[in-house]
Amino acid sequence: MQNPFRSEAEAFRFLIRTIAYFAVIAIAALIHTWLGLAVFVVATGVIVWWLFFRGDAERPIQTGPARHGGVGERRILVVANETVGGATLRDRIRERSEGVRAEVLVVAPALNTPIRHWASDEDGARAVAKTRLEESLGLLRAGGVNARGEVGDAEPLQAIEDALRTFGADEIIISTHPEGRSQWLERGVVSAARERFTVPITHVVVDVDADREDIR
């Protein structure tokens, strides 16, 4: 369900719908009290159904970033958190950067517990993500990759959207734990990202145990 007061335009649309809703009920009630009650029940039921179930059957609208960077430059957005330092991921980034003028932005979503998220207690999560990110960037730069990084929103799709707005990207690499251990895969983050963004997305699976020597 979307907040109807997120912007003035949405609040205005909400007002128009409110007028229509009450007008229909008032007219029916003026004809007969029980008709008014029936219209109220039906209209309210339709609205509740529309609010909570309208999005289920719809495919999300795909969005793509505006082009950033110079001609001939490949901009790669990497989204990873616990796997951000994995050798498999670094190899894939190097592979995609070879032979082209590439700029890499690594975004590490600040994963947080739901309670801390609702309490806006993000400092710890951001500090952990920042530490991992800096280690990973150091290794990437040592390997000759032109990379920078930032800590992103806890929700990976939101973190991607935020990064696309400021960085743009020609491709996105999403790094996760293997199937069965990855919460992102369990929540369908990769498939949701493919539905939501027009940018080509590569999914890299990093087995942290196998890459342990690269991760502190």
Partner 1 sequence: MATHAEAADHHHGPPIANQSSRVDSRVLGMLLFIASEVMLFGAFFTAYFFVRVVNGIAWPSEGIELPVFVAGVNTAILVTSSFTVHWALQSIKRDNRAGMQAGLVLTLALGFVFLLTQAREYSRVGFAPSDGAFGTIFYGLTGLHGAHVFVGLMLLTFATIRAFRGHYSAAHHHGVEIPGIYWHFVDVMWIVVYTTIYIL
Write out the residues near partner 1 by the rule CB under 8 A. 3, 5-9, 11-12, 14-15, 18-19, 22, 25-26, 29-30, 36, 110, 122, 126, 130, 133-134, 137, 146-151, 153, 158, 161-162, 165
d(CA 189, CA 173): 12
What is the nearest approach in angstroms of partner 1 to the Cβ of residue 176? 21
**Separation CA 77–CA 93 (nearest Å):** 10
The edge-to-edge listing of strands for the beta sheet with 171-176 is 147-152, 101-109, 73-79, 171-176, 201-205
How many beta carbons lie within 10 A of that of residue 135, not counting itself? 15
- Of the pair 56, 120, the CB lying nearest partner 1 is at 120
Cβ 47 to partner 1 shortest distance, Å: 14
CB distance 100 to 74 below 8 Å: yes
Q: Which is nearer to partner 1, 133 or 185 (CB)?
A: 133
The SS3 of residue 171 is: strand
Beta carbon of residue 137, minimum distance to partner 1 (angstroms, whole number): 6
- Find where tokens 């400092």 sit: 123
Give 9 or 57: the residue with its C-beta nearer to partner 1.
9
* Residue 99 DSSP symbol: T
For partner 1, the closer CB: 165 or 187: 165
Nearer to partner 1, 33 or 183 (CB): 33
Residue 144 CB, nearest approach to partner 1 (Å): 13
Best CA proximity match to 182, nearest among 162, 156, 161, 151: 156
User: Smallest gap, in angstroms, from Cβ of residue 134 to partner 1?
Assistant: 6
d(CA 199, CA 157): 13
